[in-house]
Structure 1
Amino acid sequence: MNRTNSTSATPGSSSKWTPTIRDHPRQLFTQSVGPTVIISDSPLETFHLLFTPEMLEYIVTETNKYADQSMTPLQHEKWIPLTLEELKAYIGFCILMGVVTLPSIEDYWKKDTLLHYSPIASKISRDRFRDIRRYLHSADNTTLPTPGTPGSDRLAKVRPLINKVNERCSAVYLLDRDVAVDEAMIKFQGRSSLKQYLPNKPVKRGIKVWVLADSKNGKNGYFHTMQVYTGRQSTPEKHLGTRVVKDLTTSLKGKYHHVYFDNYFTSLNLLEKDGIYACGTTRSDRVGFPVDLKDPSLPDRGDYLMRQKDTVTVTAWKDNRIVRVMSTASDPTASSTVNRRCRTGEKIAVPCPQCIEDYNRLMGGVD
């Protein structure tokens, strides 16, 4: 196997990539982890952990305010102000519609017994459901900047709600050491300038969000913090991936979490961030990438080469193709194996550096 010699020592202060690979001391992760509240068996109480009654009251207030601003005098006479209990029921109906799907919303109230769905139709009229859906609001329109002007926000009408949900998600659960940053999709088939198409995601069309999630064993998937992608701006943002990771991990700085992400986000500048250890696949055209790993000679599956600069180690490892990983989270002197199928269909253990095994195991927290 093609690899470099390694020793166990503290890293030097060299600013150049070197083939001499050493492990470096890491601060231990000692934070409390897991839920900060008692998890109830009640679905409603669990819902209120993330969507508090205060948040729902805020939506009720803004919905009634928007209805008053938008209605004609005749419409206003027929409008019954939304209440907290009715909003809860409306949200419940929306969740139920996601479980029991019909071709269109109107079908739940059809007289045709093949479509009519009494658990909803018997509780709320079609017109009332339409009215709540039409006027549902979580921001005061009179305080928002005009769209397209400096300071405007494409998510202004839902920004207060997004911020409050982020606050609650991070408050009720403390992340374990290993976390992942990745993009996820919220399924959406309507019309919106925010809609994206990601062919490699389980949900291919919808609203794209950047997510920081607990990645314990690569399968926990608790969403801790998110940012909604609002689409390409008139002036494209440079280093978007780096900025997203820094934004999402601001609260983790100095706690010595291990953060995993894919090659969209990875950069040398990002891995040199203090107080967070990181590991990510990377592209060979990244600024500062070691030249001799851009096109290395790795003839056999399992072969790898490493280069190190201070605490950052870059690995080029041969799988079916060459995989490049940049890491400060894994011991570069340690090795492991990953299971792969050979041409006969039989599973075989392929040797790899520890960073490869760690990445494969811990990157699945979001998807």
Structure 2
Amino acid sequence: MSSSKIQDSIDDHSFDTLPLRAADDPTGVPKFPPEEGRGDDFHPFKLEYRDFKINPLPKEPLELFQLFIPISLIQSWVDYTNSWVAYSLKNAVIDNWNTPLSKQSRILKWEGISTATAYVWLGVLIYLGIHREISIKDHWKSPSLGDQRPLHSIIKFMPLRKFELITRYFRTFNYTKLDVRDESDLLKTFQAAEEWSNHIQRVSIELYLPETNLTVDECMVPFTGRSKETTLVKGKPTPVGSKVWVIAQQGFFLRWLWHVKSSPYTAVIVNLPTAKPQGKKGKLRTEIPLSNTQSIVVHLVKRLLPQTYHVFTDNLFSSPQLFRLLRQLGFGATGTARPNCGISTEMKRIKETGKAPDGTPLRYNEVILIPMPDKQV
């Protein structure tokens, strides 16, 4: 039995992937002209490794859970929910779109919700996400011969009808301050979760002090409701939902920002190390703006406790301009790069041809160092 020869050279195009984003997704990849020339050596940015630290945790799992979902937060949700149902009944409607109330409307069976009931509902919701069934109703069915049902019966905690009713009308936001019918409010979907989102992030960085190495990436939160902020990213495990930019470590999310199509995150300006001529009249260019997507990296790192970090990114973010700015701010950076992200002409040629400067194919486990002209990247 023969085996195929192990590939000993790298074709850079073998790592190319199909476009993952929908046509209307404004996520911008780095797109800069290559820099001419190269440095004769690289001035390394020295980073001292710092291990992560977990601050003392509560003794009971429930107490840890309630750090992220405290009673005070649940109580505000209860108030929002009961207030919303009362408003709907008063106006004889059953939803945000003013669907008229009828004699068969389930909302007429609303009995109010307490903090304890809200915790039970939330526990059932979490369990449904962990233990999957074909349909929601299957979780409330009793086991029969040859038909195994969930080991943890939830029937005794909350009837199906009550669970569905609470799920439909549960509110994590004050409806008087957020009109979900107003399509001009581009942030309405995120505003509904902003209070809880900010709380989770605040608790996360209080409990976990990160080590030196961090990662910035995009993630998808499943969401198929009505929202202009729903994003399609083909090829992802969760292709449809709300996109968030996260800075994480060992699978633990520390900080994140919502991806908004009309981005509220301002582009960061990078001062160039040497003035470069630009335009027909040869004007000197002393600064260059990062794209909104690249600027996300800077915004996220600045949200952490002031420390020296080493940030890892993929080619959605990486560029010499971004890495130069991070170094100026006191952060190290490493990442994959696209040929058109502003790397040197020599490096661009290597990525496009898959060959070293001397014309030989790139080989595995071999590192080529080509510093930029300023010797900082």
For normalisation by structure 1, the TM-score amounts to: 0.68
In 2, Cα distance between equivalents of 1:202 and 1:78: 38
Partner residue of 1:135? 169
RCO higher in structure (CA 8 A, sep ≥6): 2
Is 1:109 aligned to 2:140, yes or no?
yes
Is 1:312 aligned to 2:364, yes or no?
no
The residue type paired with residue 278 of structure 1 is A
Which secondary structure state, in structure 1, belongs to the residue aligned with residue 154 of structure 2?
helix
Which secondary structure state, in structure 1, belongs to the residue aligned with residue 335 of structure 2?
strand
Which secondary structure state, in structure 1, belongs to the residue aligned with residue 255 of structure 2?
strand
Show CA shifts across 1:286-336 (max 9, x none): 2x42112111342231362412243532xxxxxxxxxxxxxxxxxxxxxxx
The structural deviation recorded for 1:108 is 2.5
In 2, Cα distance between equivalents of 1:47 and 1:126: 24
In 1, Cα distance between equivalents of 2:224 and 2:183: 24
The residue type paired with residue 123 of structure 1 is F
In 2, Cα distance between equivalents of 1:115 and 1:64: 37
Query: Which of 243, 251, 259 is the aligned partner of 2:295?
Result: 243
In 1, Cα distance between equivalents of 2:72 and 2:370: 53
Show CA shifts across 1:170-189 (max 9, x none): 22211111110112233456
Taking structure 1 as reference, are residues 192 and 147 closer, same or farther at Cα in structure 2, changes over 3 Å only?
closer
Partner residue of 2:213? 178
Is 1:291 aligned to 2:321, yes or no?
no
CA RMSD of aligned residues (A): 3.3
Taking structure 1 as reference, are residues 144 and 23 closer, same or farther at Cα in structure 2, changes over 3 Å only?
same
Query: Which of 227, 232, 256 is the aligned partner of 1:196?
Result: 232
Taking structure 1 as reference, are residues 24 and 169 closer, same or farther at Cα in structure 2, changes over 3 Å only?
same
Taking structure 1 as reference, are residues 39 and 223 closer, same or farther at Cα in structure 2, changes over 3 Å only?
farther
In 2, Cα distance between equivalents of 1:37 and 1:190: 38
Query: Which of 158, 167, 188 is the aligned partner of 1:124?
Result: 158
Query: Which of 38, 46, 61 is the aligned partner of 2:79?
Result: 61
Query: Which of 182, 191, 215 is the aligned partner of 1:147?
Result: 182
Query: Which of 51, 54, 78 is the aligned partner of 2:69?
Result: 51
Taking structure 1 as reference, are residues 253 and 160 closer, same or farther at Cα in structure 2, changes over 3 Å only?
closer
Partner residue of 1:162? 197
Taking structure 1 as reference, are residues 190 and 162 closer, same or farther at Cα in structure 2, changes over 3 Å only?
same
Identify which range, 48-57 or 181-190, moves more after superposition.
Answer: 181-190
Partner residue of 1:278? 333
The structural deviation recorded for 1:262 is 0.5
Partner residue of 1:37? 56
The structural deviation recorded for 1:205 is 4.4
The structural deviation recorded for 1:239 is 1.5
The structural deviation recorded for 1:150 is 6.2
Identity %: 23
Q: Is the 8 A contact 1:177 1:257 kept in 2?
A: yes
The residue type paired with residue 347 of structure 2 is L
In 1, Cα distance between equivalents of 2:118 and 2:176: 23
Taking structure 1 as reference, are residues 37 and 310 closer, same or farther at Cα in structure 2, changes over 3 Å only?
farther
Taking structure 1 as reference, are residues 56 and 187 closer, same or farther at Cα in structure 2, changes over 3 Å only?
same
